[in-house]
Amino acid sequence: MKVLITISHPSHANFFKEATRILSKDGCQIFISVLDRGRLVQIVDKEYLGYERFIAGEHKGNKLSIIFNVNILRFLKLLKFSFTNEIDFGLGVGSFTLGAAMKLLFKPNIQFDDDPERTINIILEKITSTKLFFPPVLKPGKKIKIFNALKEWAYLSPKYFSPDENILEEFGLRQKEYILIREISTGSMNYMAQDPNIIYNLSKDIPKDYKVLLSLEDKTDFKKYPEDWIILNEPVADFYSLIYFSKLVISSGDSMAREAAILGVPGIYCGFRKMKANDILIKRGMIFHSKPEEVITFIKDIINGNIKIERQEDIRNQLLNEWEDVTELIVNIVKHYNR
């Protein structure tokens, strides 16, 4: 069976990684389509070494690019590639461009999503997908199926991820004595209305007794951040161990805040979007959605123990007992269509 996987965000690269390994061992021929966006191509090349991959679409951080390059040109390239290479099955996260290509070729495609707030995207995904899978953030329907977990669990479950403290030596760090911060680019449709300098604006008030690792999606202005901050050069080997051993994570984007929380690390999300996927973890006291002007107060409360945080391994074990194996779900879906 020939399977085409589309990747347009770093979290998508991680989402399919374990399933790809298993499916490949089971005899599936895997092809990877990647969107040219930031450091994503380099990340995919690192994580999917040995698989045939091609670039479809380029994200330049403006609306015209999103409409023309990310959607129209990407759709045409996916359609051509799928037809030429006789693709049997498509897998994507919110990729209605792949869905449309597969639909025109009368081939099944399964989409995953966790963002019902993007109503236009969801409508297009429902039209173009064979089935559409969501965490418990909306009700199931004729096409919509629900799985009991968040997408990030596919690669952060203890079944697939074990932290390795050796990564700390590379950066001269000690466990729980540093803060990891993520500043996203606001060039995507989801974040165009957000202040692009949330982290920079509060950087001078971050407690000085903790080292800071900074993950910048757009590294153009990296010199404006404090000189003693360590700027990460992605892709970083064992990045999730860096999250796991941090004291806390601050992120202006939603994905890394969820990743931190699932790893049992307090995640402060200071972006402007309200998301049902985040609410699942907010209710459990694992994500703190903060206005930018309140971030420093949250940091100090967490560091000083004013906010009760469950033991890291207790959180991980609870999720392991309650949530389903998302990677196993992906593999079983493909096997079902390969009968």
> Residues 191-219: what's their mean pLDDT?
90
Distance between CA 55 and CA 184 in Å, rounded? 22
Distance between CA 196 and CA 205 in Å, rounded? 18
Distance between CA 161 and CA 329 in Å, rounded? 17
> Residues 78-83: what's their mean pLDDT?
98
Looking at the DSSP bridge assignments, the partners of residue 249 are: 180, 267
- The SS3 assignment for 7 reads strand
Q: What CA–CA distances, in Å, run from 262 to 16, 222, 317, 320?
A: 17, 28, 10, 10
Cβ proximity of 82 and 109 under 8 Å? no
pLDDT above 90: percentage of residues in the chain: 83
Question: Does 251 score more than 90 pLDDT?
Answer: yes
Which of 10-14, 149-153, 248-252 bottoms out in mean pLDDT, i.e. has the lowest? Answer: 10-14
CA angle 321, 324, 327 (to 5 degrees): 130
Cβ proximity of 78 and 56 under 8 Å? yes
What beta strand segments (E) does 95-160 contain?
109-112, 131-134, 144-146
Question: Does 188 score more than 80 pLDDT?
Answer: no
Please report the pLDDT score of residue 4 as a whole number: 98
**Which one-letter DSSP state was computed for residue 28?**
P
Structure tokens that stand for 261 in this block: 């929380």
> Residues 57-70: what's their mean pLDDT?
79
Question: Does 111 score more than 90 pLDDT?
Answer: yes
- The SS3 assignment for 94 reads coil
CATH superfamily, domain 167-322, is Glycogen Phosphorylase B; (3.40.50.2000)
Domains 2-157+325-337 and 167-322 share a fold: yes
Question: Does 38 score more than 80 pLDDT?
Answer: yes
The tally of CA atoms less than 13 A away on the side-chain side of residue 297 is 7
The full set of domain ranges for the chain reads 2-157+325-337, 167-322
Please report the pLDDT score of residue 216 as a whole number: 92
The tally of CA atoms less than 13 A away on the side-chain side of residue 280 is 23
> Residues 148-173: what's their mean pLDDT?
97
- Domain covering 2-157+325-337 assigned CATH 3.40.190.10 in the classification: no
Distance between CA 145 and CA 139 in Å, rounded? 8
